[in-house]
Chain A
Amino acid sequence: MFRLRRNGGPASVAVVVEGALVHVVPGASAAAAVLAAGFASIRETPVTGAGRAPYCMMGVCYDCLAEIDGIPNQQSCMVETRAGMRIRRQLGARQLDPPNQHNE
């Protein structure tokens, strides 16, 4: 679990993590929002299903992969939150779109 620093900035950015509203400070990453929401893990590995949390927070380890605004496999530590952003944890490998979805 993580908590907001006392005397820190106002947590004025409202995002949605797994369907629940979470407030973070401007500039916080999507990965930070998931941790602020109280989740211990942010993804489950495609190999064994083990739970993982961000390890490096600087775009190196890819253990923060998440689905952001409907797009899977995002490095959530590198994506800055915006008001209304919808973040979901990524459980296993990303789901490919149904094959006919992009036929226009």
Chain B
Amino acid sequence: MNSVEFAIIGAGPAGLAAAALAGEFGLDTMLIDEQGSPGGQIYRAVETARVDSPLGPDYLAGSHLVAAMRAARIEYRPGTTLWHLDPGGPLFLAHAGRTETVFARRVLLATGAIERPVPIPGWTLPGVMTVGAAQILLKSADLIPAGDIVLAGQGPLLYLLAAQLVQAGSPPRAILETTPGANYREALLALRRRWPGLRPLLKGLGSILAVKRAGVRRRCGVRGLRAIGHARLERVVWQGGEIAADHLLLHQGVIPDIQISLALQLRHEWDDGQLCWRPVLDPWGQTSTPSVAVAGDAGGIAGAAAARLSGQLAALDAAMLLGRINGPERDRRAATVRAALAREQALRPFLDRLYRPQRSILAPEEDDTIVCRCEEVTAGAIRRAARLGASGPNQVKAFTRCGMGPCQGRICGPIVGALIADTLGRPIADAGTWRPRAPYKPISVGALADLDAGV
């Protein structure tokens, strides 16, 4: 069996930075990534991006991270899916339909974030996708939605993509902001408590101004959003308005991708500031399982720059635990990284309060809204199951098939927890989470049969 000292899962900013630093320390490192090229979602296809890209300089800066990983003496495995892991034992990897096992002394999960699901009525209609999905099409395929584009929701990515669409010559027809009015006051109070500096605020304002200058129609405080159409999206409706649309791009921020950390039964906690679950970590990213650490947005949302820094901290800790440096050396090298990390995190309290989603986004109000896209289970079915006594997502799954489809509950998980909590009048934290199991992603029986006999 192949054996390494340090296995890193995910080649976004956290995984790339960890891999480059681990290589400097001479750690025998394998960087495993599902995608065919490095960068994660934030720097997707950055190696082939051109300098005139409408995506802007912050995106192109990711190429330095990718170049550092390419130059490092580590093993990079693109197009490879981790589908099972025994802490302290082997990793089970699938690549091109074949399975391979690799033993690793330490594992770093740098699996990043997913977009928070936006379960409005009609969100399964063709023509509706996330803002992130549209940005990925722009980054990796140079594709732009044609026809009338409507962006709806909130979060920095909403205006960033709107500005990029303006830059690319396809301004959206309208932006529907769902941010509740009360959020602004809370956000300003957060700014007063912790000043993040002007730069990140100016970047956000720049996007908003670019969109305003392009004459894009904006609506604030939008509620009751729904996508309407027969077979595909035809119009977008909200309380007090409607607009014809070919594309509805939804966004309500991002949440940690915890599918693997949940499957490993690492200790998790509910983050009430970010309204999501995240693994419990020490300041180095160490989880409740000794051989496993988490870095980047997978451990709590802080953005790409913070992810890079937390990846470096995890690599420093790995270098100490694997005997390359001693504790004082680790701490000495970490000091500048921690200072930079604190600066990057300063904006979070402001963003978290400003873009705290409405309750109706977390738990859809109308019973016929689909929650589980795979098995087509509605909010009403989940409420009924909760009233019948299903007290957590795992029981709801057994009652309704919700979460049993190919996505394994990745999309519906957060919605189910919030719906159960709402129905039973309890905090979301009490509803708990799925207990996902291997394979972490569906694999073929052929890939399973391909396992080494020695495992």
Contacts and interface: CB of A to CB of B under 8 A. Distances in A.
Interface of A: 1-9, 11, 24-29, 32-33, 35-36, 40-41, 45, 47-48, 50-63, 65, 73, 77-78, 80
30 contacts: A1-B145, A2-B146, A4-B144, A5-B142, A5-B169, A8-B142, A9-B48, A9-B50, A24-B141, A27-B37, A27-B48, A27-B141, A28-B143, A32-B141, A40-B231, A41-B126, A41-B231, A51-B126, A53-B127, A54-B133, A55-B133, A56-B133, A57-B136, A59-B34, A60-B114, A60-B257, A61-B373, A61-B407, A62-B407, A73-B406
B132 A56 contact: yes
Contact of A5 (B124, B132, B144, B257): B144
Contact of B146 (A1, A58, A77): A1
A76 B26 CA distance: 37
A28 B140 contact: yes
A28 B141 CA distance: 4
Contacts of A28: 140-143
Contacts of B169: 5-6
Contacts of A7: 52
A98 to B, nearest CB: 16
A25 B141 contact: yes
Contacts of B50: 9
Contacts of B147: 1
A58 B168 contact: no
A78 B441 CA distance: 12
Contacts of A41: 126, 231-232
B130 A50 contact: no
Contacts of A59: 34-35
A80 B36 contact: yes
Given A5-B143, A24-B141, A25-B141, A57 B132 contact: yes
A27 B140 contact: yes
B137 A32 contact: yes
Contacts of B48: 9, 26-27
Contacts, number: 134
B410 A25 contact: no
B142 A4 contact: yes
A52 B126 CA distance: 5
A65 B132 CA distance: 18
Interface string B372-387: 0111100000000000
Interface string B98-128: 0000000000000000110000000110111
B5 interface: no
B129 A57 contact: yes
B56 interface: no
Nearest to B112: A58
Contacts of A47: 375-376
B interface: dominant SS: loop
B129 A3 contact: no
Given A57-B136, A58-B133, A29 B246 contact: no
A4 B127 CA distance: 17
A89 B168 CA distance: 29
Interface string B215-243: 00000000000000001100000000000
A1 B130 CA distance: 15
Given A40-B127, A56-B115, A60-B114, A5 B138 contact: yes
B374 A62 contact: yes
A71 B328 CA distance: 53
Contacts of A65: 406
Task: Report the 5 A-B pairs with minimum CB-CB distance, sorted nearest first.
Answer: A8-B142, A32-B141, A57-B133, A28-B141, A53-B126
A32 B126 contact: no
Interface in B234-277: 246, 257
Given A5-B54, A65-B406, A78-B34, A52 B143 contact: no
Contacts of B394: none
Contacts of A63: 124, 373
A78 B78 CA distance: 11
B406 A58 contact: no
B363 interface: no
B204 interface: no
B137 A35 contact: yes
A47 B124 CA distance: 13
Contacts of B114: 56, 58, 60
B407 A60 contact: yes
B327 interface: no
A57 B48 CA distance: 19
Contacts of B406: 62, 65, 73
B93 to A, nearest CB: 15
B232 A2 contact: no
A39 to B, nearest CB: 9
A9 B142 contact: yes
B141 A51 contact: no
Contacts of A24: 141
B296 to A, nearest CB: 15
B200 interface: no
